[in-house]
């Protein structure tokens, strides 16, 4: 117990134990005690107010701290999501880079001037040059000399036409022979760069060259077979004319001599006359056979007159059918192969019409066209001629025979296999001569045959 508390207890005990009336000093003490109580009460009230204010501020602070903690948790979650998304983007970028670099074809981007903006590893490997030495350089420096114009046209079309632009050309490879590639490029509207896929087609070109060589050999073999067939026909025609013709002439002469030596009323005369008539029919049959085996006019007068004679003979056997022969152009000096090919195709076509078509009209048209072939690529404009010199190709001259045979007969169904060999023989003859053969037909609407024979065959563009 403190000294003040002991004094207060003694003071209270003294006031209750004394019986004397309260004096003036006691009143002063009582008034002082009342003042202390009031002060304590005021202090208590002030303390309560301070505590109330302090408690309110603590609640606000706690609420703010709680909100900050929640916000921190949200930020941490968002940060984790962002980090995950960034990792996914990096993985996707790495996968794309791997796909871009190690794709089986070359990818590169060109600007309008033809400079390489970027190229993948496969493209640089195909060119045989490191990627760092390709970026920023004109791609035309890697094009084979004969294909520069084709590449310039390709570059021009990328930025001036819509869709994909495809060109096959040769590229130069360090230490190797030029390689054939296929460029497939496109550029969206307004883009300053064209995306290009470069595919190595050198093996495909080798296979194509091999197939063309086999086709050429096959055509030569077929042509040789047709030549051998024509030689055999010529030999048979000569033998029939020389041997059988002489015997028929002798039989005819003997029959006439017998008929003249006997009376017309006798049976011998009748028999001799019958022999003479049979010999005449045989002579006509042999004459037709000789004409089919080898048209003599083809050797003596040429293709045009032979076709006129062929038409005349056919019309004599098919008077119910109107046959029109149209010849346009000069047909001299075509050569034996072309002449016999055209003649045999027309002969077989007329034979088919007479045997199967039941047509009332047939037209045979032979046309020779001689003209300059159009340039594949027009001159390019607005190109950097210093970097990309243009070499304009020399325009070749084309010389072509067009043959068409059209009738209004009953036609046939192209989907059904024909038992005859007429169309097949015509097609083989046209192909053996280096030409093209097409036949179109609709049941009930006739047949149309078209043959194209190039007289000057261009070199194969591989």
- What CATH number corresponds to the domain at position 110? 3.30.450.20
The pLDDT of residue 39: 65
Q: Detail the DSSP E strand segments found in 73-192.
A: 106-111, 116-119, 165-171, 179-186
pTM of the model: 0.50
* 288 compared with 115, residue with greater pLDDT: 115
Average pLDDT, the chain: 79
Tokens for 420, please give them: 């005859």
Say whether both 307 and 452 belong to one domain: yes
Q: How far is 396 from 372, CA to CA, in rounded Å? A: 6
**Confidence category of residue 17, pLDDT binned at 50, 70, 90:** very low
* Structure confidence at residue 292 (pLDDT): 72
Q: Assess if residue 275 is contained within a domain.
A: yes
283 shares its domain with 148: no
Residues 146 and 63 in one domain: no
pLDDT at position 460 is 40
Listed residues 294, 316, 336: the one ending a domain: 294
What's the mean pLDDT in 323-350? 89
Whether residue 342 contacts residue 366, with contact meaning beta carbons closer than 8 Å, is answered with: yes
Last residue of a domain, which of 180, 200, 220?
200
Percent of the chain whose predicted confidence (pLDDT) is above 90: 23
Please name the residue that has the structure tokens 């004409």: 291
Q: How many CB atoms lie within 10 A of CB 153?
A: 19
The reported pLDDT for the residue numbered 154 is 94
Query: Which of 200, 221, 247 is at the close of a domain?
Result: 200
C-alpha–C-alpha distance, residues 276 and 273, integer Å: 5
- Residue 140: what pLDDT? 93
Is 272 in contact with 259 (CB distance < 8 Å)?
A: yes
What's residue 113's pLDDT?
A: 92
Could you tell me if 84 and 131 lie in one domain?
A: no
Q: Give tens-digit pLDDT for 124-179.
A: 888 889 988 999 999 999 999 999 999 999 999 999 888 899 999 999 987 788 99
Instruction: Mark whether 231 and 330 lie in a shared domain.
Output: no
Each residue's pLDDT tens digit, 216-234: 888 788 878 878 877 787 7
In a domain, 385, yes or no: yes
What pLDDT was estimated at residue 34? 52
Among residues 173, 184, 170, the alpha carbon closest in space to that of 126 is found at 173
Residues 34 and 124 in one domain: no
Q: Is the pLDDT of residue 23 over 70?
A: no
- If asked whether residues 341 and 427 sit together in one domain, one would say yes
Q: How many domains does the chain have?
A: 4
Looking at the structure, tell me whether residues 240 and 388 fall in a common domain.
Answer: no
- Residue 257 confidence (pLDDT): 86
Q: Which residue has better confidence, 141 or 191?
A: 141
Measured CA distances, 212 to 76, 171, 321, 436, 459 (Å)? 70, 22, 42, 15, 11
Same domain, 455 and 317: yes
Model confidence at 259: pLDDT above 60: yes
Question: How far is residue 154's CA from residue 158's CA, in Å, rounded to a whole number?
Answer: 6
21/299: higher pLDDT: 299
Note whether 336 and 300 are within 8 A (CB).
no
CA atoms within 13 A on the CB side of 26: 10
Residues 196 and 212 in one domain: no
What is the maximum span of the chain, computed from C-alpha positions, in angstroms?
A: 217
Alpha carbon distance 109, 131 (integer Å): 13
Does residue 354 share a domain with residue 288?
Answer: no
Query: Average of pLDDT values for 96-119?
Result: 85
User: Mean pLDDT over residues 358-387, rounded?
Assistant: 66
Pair (290, 305) in one structural domain:
no
Residue that is written with structure tokens 């390689």 in the block: 179
- What's the pLDDT score for residue 242? 73
Look at residue 332 in the predicted model and tell me its pLDDT: 83
User: Is 98 contained in some domain?
Assistant: no
> Cα 333 to chain center, whole Å?
40
Q: In whole angstroms, what is the distance from residue 282 CA to residue 251 CA? A: 11
Measured between alpha carbons, how far is 300 from 178 in angstroms, rounded to an integer?
Answer: 51
Structural domain harbouring 37: 26-93
Mean pLDDT of the 304-324 span: 90
Cα 306 from Cα 68, distance rounded (Å)? 108
User: pLDDT tens-digit profile of 387-438?
Assistant: 334 444 444 567 899 999 999 988 888 777 665 667 888 888 888 888 899 9
State the pLDDT at residue 432. 84
Work out the average pLDDT over 282-293. Answer: 77
Residue 401's pLDDT is 93
The answer to whether residue 8 is domain-embedded is: no
393: domain CATH number? 3.30.565.10
């Amino acid at each position: 117990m403190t000294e003040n508390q002991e004094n207060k207890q003694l003071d209270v005990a003294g006031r209750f134990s004394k019986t004397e009336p309260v004096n003036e000093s006691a009143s002063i003490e009582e008034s002082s005690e009342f003042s202390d109580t009031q002060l304590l009460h005021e202090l208590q009230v002030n303390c309560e107010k301070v505590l109330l204010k302090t408690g309110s501020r603590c609640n606000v602070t706690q609420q703010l701290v709680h909100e900050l903690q929640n916000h921190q948790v949200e930020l941490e979650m968002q940060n984790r999501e962002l980090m995950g998304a960034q990792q996914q983007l990096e993985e996707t970028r790495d996968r794309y880079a791997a796909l871009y670099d190690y794709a089986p074809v070359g990818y590169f981007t060109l600007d309008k001037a033809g400079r390489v903006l970027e190229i993948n590893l496969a493209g640089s490997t195909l060119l045989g040059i490191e990627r760092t030495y390709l970026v920023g350089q004109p791609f035309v420096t890697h094009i084979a000399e004969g294909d520069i114009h084709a590449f310039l046209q390709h570059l021009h079309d990328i930025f001036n036409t819509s869709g994909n632009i495809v060109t096959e050309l040769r590229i130069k490879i360090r230490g190797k022979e030029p390689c054939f590639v296929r460029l497939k490029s496109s550029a969206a509207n307004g883009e300053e760069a064209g995306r290009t896929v470069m595919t190595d087609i050198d093996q495909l070109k080798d296979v194509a060259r091999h197939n063309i060589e086999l086709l050429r050999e096959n055509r030569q073999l077929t042509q040789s077979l047709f030549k051998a067939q024509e030689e055999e026909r010529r030999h048979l025609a000569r033998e029939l004319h020389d041997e059988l013709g002489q015997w028929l002439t002798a039989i005819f002469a003997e029959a006439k001599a017998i008929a003249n030596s006997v009376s017309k009323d006798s049976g011998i005369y009748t028999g001799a006359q019958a022999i003479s008539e049979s010999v005449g029919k045989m002579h006509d049959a042999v004459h037709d056979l000789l004409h089919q085996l080898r048209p003599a006019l083809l050797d003596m007068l040429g293709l045009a007159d032979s076709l006129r004679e062929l038409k005349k003979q056919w019309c004599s056997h098919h008077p119910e059918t109107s046959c029109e022969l149209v010849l346009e152009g000069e047909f001299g000096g075509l050569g034996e192969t072309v002449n016999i090919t055209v003649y045999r195709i027309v002969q077989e076509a007329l034979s088919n019409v007479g045997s199967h078509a039941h047509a009332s009209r047939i037209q045979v048209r032979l046309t020779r066209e001689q003209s300059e072939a159009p340039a594949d690529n027009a001159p390019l404009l607005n190109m950097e001629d210093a970097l990309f010199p243009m070499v304009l190709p020399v325009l070749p001259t084309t010389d072509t025979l067009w043959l068409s045979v059209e009738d209004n007969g009953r036609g046939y169904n192209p989907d059904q296999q024909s038992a005859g060999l007429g169309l097949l023989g015509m097609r083989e003859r046209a192909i053996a001569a280096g030409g093209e053969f097409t036949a179109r037909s609709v049941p009930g609407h006739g047949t149309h045959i078209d043959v194209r024979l190039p007289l000057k065959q261009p070199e194969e563009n591989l």
